[in-house]
């Protein structure tokens, strides 16, 4: 190699060129969210297929575009060619897709089209491989994993953060500021913090700071003799501020495929991101099928539905987590059907779930059961679990994609 050629080879990449080639964070978040949730459709003014057609050089390949498009999508899904006779045409089609994606990025940079003109799901559907390569370069995707005759995208922690922000953006415009890690809960106790509710003074519940002097004097002034007695003292109900520990139990059994799984995953990601914004790290996500494990940050997106359903084991894991924590536990159980597995070999899956719900009474926990199915026997088991736990609520969602709105608006927005 010549000295000049060697110098060119060693020349560092132009930082300005690299920055211009990058996608904006907003477009990246839309593409990542579309990969997670293919049910969220957004229209666009341009079609990525038109760009692919413009970059096809062979007229015969262009004439058979629709058939080739179907075969190529099978190739993407299955890691192999459907028919050896199509190899040459598929290779040309692949090159056209690569040029189409580069052309779209170039036109975005030059302002010929805007991000609002693009449909994320259209881009993922037609240029998925090319987009994922860019996402891998930027560290949002770590690679692929083959599972059950299909390839599964492995997301990074960086991707989870962006998707979490997108979920929040879709669910609520802005969140109110509250004290980090504290929630006001309706629990009577001795406290120096006073609420707006007036009540009769109780020396066993109220401290001096709870006494309302003005209201007490007014009460005495309204008496005929203006006398003062201890029973005339007016106090404000104390507020009990306590750290809340959110525990989300996500059913990842085989029956949770489709919208139910997407709804549960984006709810966990959105709630985790929203809690993090308030400087509180107390959210535990436990994924369960016939096994159960706590899911670390960055792993939620890479969960996969398979196996049987052991609700009793999930509730047991929640109880054990609360034993090691200091605070009130809000436990959300997200599942679509009755239990089909029991970690306790001596009792049925249903009785195991009810027994573990009852044992939640031994820790400071409230159980919210999120039903994603309406089977009658499933409903009865949920009612028995709620009754066994005591402090419980049951919710049914016909559209699992609305789950994120429920969590963010009710448990973060307050």
**369 occurs within a structural domain:** yes
**171 occurs within a structural domain:** no
- The answer to whether residues 35 and 104 belong to one domain is yes
Diameter of the chain by CA atoms? 110
Which contacts (CB < 8 Å, 24+ apart) does range 298-301 have?
Answer: 298/155, 298/156, 298/157, 298/160, 300/160, 300/265, 300/268, 300/269, 300/272, 301/36, 301/155, 301/159, 301/160, 301/163, 301/265, 301/269
Domain-ending residue, one of 133, 155, 177: 155
Tokens standing for 339? 């239990």
Query: What are φ and ψ of residue 48, in 5° steps?
Result: -65, -25
- The answer to whether residues 233 and 319 belong to one domain is no
- The answer to whether residues 277 and 398 belong to one domain is yes
Mean pLDDT of the chain: 80
- The answer to whether residues 286 and 224 belong to one domain is no
**21 occurs within a structural domain:** yes
* Structural domain count of the chain: 3
Residue 149 has what pLDDT? 57
- Residue 59 confidence class, pLDDT cut points 50, 70, 90: confident
Domain-ending residue, one of 238, 267, 298: 238
Using DSSP's 3-state secondary structure scheme, residue 69 falls into helix
Which residue segment(s) compose the domain that 277 sits in? 243-411
Residue 52 has what pLDDT? 86
- The answer to whether residues 298 and 391 belong to one domain is yes
- The answer to whether residues 249 and 285 belong to one domain is yes
Mean of the pLDDT values across residues 112-129? 92
Q: What is the pTM of this model?
A: 0.74
DSSP codes, 3-35: HHHHHHHHSPPPHHHHHHHSPPHHHHHHHHHHH
Residue 152 has what pLDDT? 84
- The answer to whether residues 138 and 268 belong to one domain is no
Distance, in Å, from the CA atom of 105 to the CA atom of 412, rounded to the nearest integer, reads 37
Mean of the pLDDT values across residues 316-320? 96
Tokens standing for 175? 């969140």
Query: Quick one: DSSP state of residue 101?
Result: H
The C-alpha angle 145, 146, 150, rounded to 5 degrees, equals 120
pLDDT at 49 over 50: yes
- The answer to whether residues 48 and 114 belong to one domain is yes
H or E element that contains 155: strand 150-155
Domain-ending residue, one of 105, 126, 155: 155
- The answer to whether residues 228 and 253 belong to one domain is no
- Which residues touch 406 (CB under 8 Å, ≥6 apart)? 267, 395, 397
Residue 158 has what pLDDT? 92
**3 occurs within a structural domain:** no
**261 occurs within a structural domain:** yes
- The answer to whether residues 210 and 262 belong to one domain is no
State the CATH number of the domain containing residue 391.
3.40.50.410
In this structure, what is the dihedral angle of CA atoms 120, 42, 409, 394, given to the nearest 10 degrees?
-100
- The answer to whether residues 253 and 395 belong to one domain is yes
Residue 76 has what pLDDT? 54
């Amino acid at each position: 190699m010549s000295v000049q050629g060697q110098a060119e080879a060693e020349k560092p990449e132009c930082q300005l060129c690299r920055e211009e080639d990058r996608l904006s964070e907003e477009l990246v978040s839309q593409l990542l969210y579309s990969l997670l949730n293919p049910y969220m459709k957004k229209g666009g003014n341009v079609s990525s297929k038109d760009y692919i057609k413009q970059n096809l050089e062979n007229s015969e390949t262009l004439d058979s575009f629709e058939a080739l498009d179907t075969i190529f999508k099978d190739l993407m899904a299955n890691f192999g060619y459907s028919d050896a006779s199509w190899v040459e045409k598929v290779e040309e089609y692949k090159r056209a897709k690569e040029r189409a994606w580069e052309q779209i990025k170039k036109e975005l940079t030059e302002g010929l089209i805007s991000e609002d003109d693009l449909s994320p799901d259209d881009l993922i559907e037609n240029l998925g491989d090319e987009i994922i390569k860019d996402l891998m370069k930027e560290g949002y995707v770590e690679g692929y994993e083959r599972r059950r005759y299909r390839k599964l995208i492995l997301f990074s922690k960086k991707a989870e953060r962006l998707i979490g922000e997108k979920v929040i953006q879709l669910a609520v415009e802005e969140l109110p500021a509250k004290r980090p890690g504290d929630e006001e809960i309706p629990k009577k106790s001795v406290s120096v913090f006073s609420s707006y509710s007036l009540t009769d003074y109780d020396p066993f519940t109220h401290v001096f700071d709870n006494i309302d002097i003005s209201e007490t004097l007014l009460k005495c002034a309204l008496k005929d003799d203006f006398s003062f007695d201890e029973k005339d003292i007016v106090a404000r109900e104390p507020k009990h501020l306590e750290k809340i520990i959110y525990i989300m139990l996500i059913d990842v059994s085989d029956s949770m495929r489709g919208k139910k799984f997407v709804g549960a995953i984006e709810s966990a990601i959105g709630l985790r991101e929203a809690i993090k914004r308030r400087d509180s790290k107390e959210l535990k996500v436990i994924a369960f099928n016939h096994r159960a494990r706590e899911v670390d940050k960055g792993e939620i997106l890479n969960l996969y539905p398979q196996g049987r359903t052991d609700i009793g084991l999930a509730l047991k894991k929640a109880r054990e987590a609360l034993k090691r924590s200091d605070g009130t536990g809000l436990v959300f159980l997200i599942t679509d059907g009755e239990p089909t597995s029991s970690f306790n070999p001596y009792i049925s899956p249903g009785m195991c779930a009810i027994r573990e719900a009852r044992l939640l009474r031994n820790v400071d926990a409230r159980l919210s059961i999120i039903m994603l199915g309406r089977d009658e026997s499933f409903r009865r088991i949920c009612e028995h679990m709620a009754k066994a736990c005591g402090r419980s609520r049951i919710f049914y969602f016909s559209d699992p994609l609305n789950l994120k709105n429920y969590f963010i608006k009710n448990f973060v927005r307050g």
